[in-house]
Amino acid sequence: MTKTHRMSLERHNAPYRGTTRREDAVNFDLAVLHDLFHAEKVAGGNPTFPGQTTAISNNFSALYHGEGKPTASIPTAGTITTLLKPFSTPEQDIQDLRTWTRPGGVVLTGTPSKYTLSSNGTLVPGGLLATVTAEPGDILFLRFKLTKGNGQGVKVAIGAKDFNGDGDDLKIVNLDDFSSGQYIDKRLYCQSRQDIRLAIYSVYQTANGVLSNCSIEDFSLGFLHETPVGIIGTDTAPSEDALSMKQVLALESKRLSFLEERITQTEGGII
């Protein structure tokens, strides 16, 4: 007697060949379809969702062939940042936070190697303020190491007041996240000639009565210059004097072939 198998989602007496109930089979199929749809989106096969494959392909085209611009999820990707110029005399004193004004009743102690900024715990934001003149296109850069002292739930803000006419441009962090000491930085892209009111607040939007302090080390303030990253293409070169990657590889291949031929001739007694 020939054995036959009934084609059905309900596979009786077949525990090792898949699901045995229609509900399980439907759930399994839906899960597989969902995973395939997600994989299609990530891979870039879905025309309505670019996906990672498309993003990687676009970045390769931008970097090696100069087609478009590279994209990434971090602000420094695609650019090389250098310190254009620090503040010089007579603005050099601004590098010393002790010359900044102190609204809100804060107390600043210590030396430029390590400051201690203490608040009085009021609702009025207290901190340090200074004014700097910048030109259109300038990139102002503040950076220092921040370490928490005492106090809980205290926030620190760094940036500028009423910047570019759009209101405050402040980077706000929770001081509780800086118990072991971390660097904090802020970039300000100037759109017009203006006097920038720099601000470092030791207490920002905290509850009344919260006394706190923090330390500031390695403080630096200056102008940055950002240069787009460019790579010579594999097919084309930026100028007639330069060689593309393919041209360089072709020349090296010819040199290696010539050396191989000379070595073979030498071993064979032909000079």
Contact 178, 214 (CB under 8 A): yes
Q: In this structure, how many other beta carbons lie within 10 angstroms of the beta carbon of residue 264?
A: 10
Winning range, highest mean pLDDT, from 60-74, 179-193, 204-218, 240-254: 179-193
Percentage of the chain exceeding pLDDT 90: 15
Element (H, E) at 170: strand 169-174
Reported as a single tens digit per residue, the pLDDT across 212-254 is 888 999 998 888 877 765 555 555 555 555 566 667 777 888 8
Mean pLDDT over the full length of the chain: 74
The domain made up of 81-228 has a fold known as Jelly Rolls (2.60.120)
Instruction: State the amino acid at position 247 in one-letter form.
Output: Q
pTM (2 decimals)?
0.56
For the purposes of burial, counting CB atoms within 10 Å of the CB of 145, is it exposed (0-12), middle (13-18) or buried (19 or more)?
Answer: middle
List, in order, residues 6 or more apart from 119 with CB less than 8 Å away: 104, 105, 106, 126, 151, 154, 202, 203, 206, 210, 211, 212, 213
Reported as a single tens digit per residue, the pLDDT across 28-38 is 667 766 666 66
d(CA 218, CA 145): 6
What pLDDT score does 38 carry? 65
Quick check: helix, strand or coil at residue 234?
coil
Contact 175, 117 (CB under 8 A): no
What pLDDT score does 203 carry? 63
Domain ranges of the chain: 22-65, 81-228, 232-271
Query: Is pLDDT above 90 for 144?
Result: yes
